[in-house]
């Protein structure tokens, strides 16, 4: 797999009321994001709510999503607090024919940078697949430092780093290090995609691709083409989508956006209050005219 670029969909994973994977909805969502023009799929990412899925389900999903992707590259998020599970998923991703793996640092317990390095290199030893180091400290509580990324990249096949969360300026340092060590930087900030591309990011691992991937894919074309007017229009729609979705918590915001596109996100994997259900309904209603204006729904 070459260094990833473009829009990689952080795929939504639909379940039924019993918490089982809904294969029909999974197929529909894979087909939807591919039809929107994404360059690849991230399976079992944060948007896919992987912590709610047990290890056998995650392993089966890697095979099924790769099958449904029909040749489109699938990157497997193999993150887990248990390094044995990480190694297991690394081997499963290899067996499933995935194009690469993504790895968050473990969460809950604090971890030194030296321990993070050891963790990532242990995971890398379980698969020949290229690695995307996934930094999302707001979720894990453990930030991947530059020294760790450099050490791992020098000793394993790191082809990309995904930067998510509030620390926007970290993109600058990561891009500079990537130029030195030969890895790409992908942003997780859908609504700042134009800025990220201008900085030197090669693309985005995107949750909003489950809602409006067509807009994101087009931004990846208009920015390098220098079409500032069209980029501004696309980003205006994306920011309005992001602002509306931000009125409910992640990842229920993605589910609300999917409903606005006429997609069924399945049953919630977590307990959802009536207040959140009402908030999601309001977000869906707010998004419909925005998506209509953008030409994504009739």
Q: Catalogue the active-site residues.
A: 134, 162
What's the farthest any 2 CA atoms get from each other in the chain?
A: 53
Using alpha carbons, list the distances in angstroms from residue 108 to 33, 80, 82, 173.
Answer: 32, 11, 11, 26
Query: Phi, psi (5° rounding) for residue 287?
Result: -75, -30
Contact 130, 157 (CB under 8 A): yes
Contact 7, 217 (CB under 8 A): yes
Tell me the sheet residues that pair with 161. Answer: 133, 185
Collapsed DSSP state (helix, strand, coil) of residue 8 = strand
What distance in Å separates the CA atoms of residue 191 and residue 21, rounded to the nearest whole number? 29
What element of type H or E holds 204? strand 203-206
Q: What is the DSSP letter of 292?
A: H
Contact 293, 237 (CB under 8 A): yes
Angle CA 97–151–183, to nearest 5: 50
What distance in Å separates the CA atoms of residue 234 and residue 147, rounded to the nearest whole number? 36
Contact 9, 210 (CB under 8 A): yes
What distance in Å separates the CA atoms of residue 294 and residue 5, rounded to the nearest whole number? 24
């Amino acid at each position: 797999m070459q260094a990833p670029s473009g829009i990689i969909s952080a795929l939504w994973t639909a379940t039924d009321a019993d918490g089982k994977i809904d294969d029909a909805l999974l197929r529909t969502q894979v087909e939807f994001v591919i039809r929107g023009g994404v360059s690849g799929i991230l399976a079992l990412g944060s948007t896919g709510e992987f912590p709610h899925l047990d290890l056998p389900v995650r392993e089966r999903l890697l095979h099924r999503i790769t099958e449904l992707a029909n040749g489109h590259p699938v990157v497997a998020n193999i993150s887990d607090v248990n390094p044995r599970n990480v190694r297991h998923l690394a081997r499963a991703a290899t067996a499933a024919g995935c194009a690469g793996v993504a790895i968050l640092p473990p969460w809950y317990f604090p971890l030194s940078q030296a321990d993070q390095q050891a963790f990532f290199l242990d995971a890398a030893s379980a698969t020949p697949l290229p690695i995307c180091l996934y930094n999302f400290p707001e979720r894990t509580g453990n930030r991947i430092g530059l020294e760790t990324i450099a050490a791992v990249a020098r000793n394993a096949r790191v082809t990309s780093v995904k930067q998510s969360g509030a620390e926007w300026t970290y993109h600058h340092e990561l891009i500079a290090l990537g130029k030195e060590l030969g890895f790409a930087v992908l942003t997780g900030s859908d609504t700042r995609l134009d800025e990220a591309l201008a900085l030197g990011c090669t693309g985005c691992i995107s949750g909003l691709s489950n809602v409006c991937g067509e807009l994101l894919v087009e931004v990846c074309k208009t920015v390098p083409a220098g079409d500032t007017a069209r980029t501004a229009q696309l980003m205006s729609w994306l920011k309005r989508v992001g602002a509306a979705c931000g009125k409910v918590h992640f990842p229920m915001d993605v589910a609300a956006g999917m409903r606005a596109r006429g997609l069924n996100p399945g049953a919630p994997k977590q307990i959802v209050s009536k207040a959140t259900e009402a908030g999601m309904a309001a977000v869906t209603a707010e998004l419909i005219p925005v998506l209509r204006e953008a030409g994504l729904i009739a």
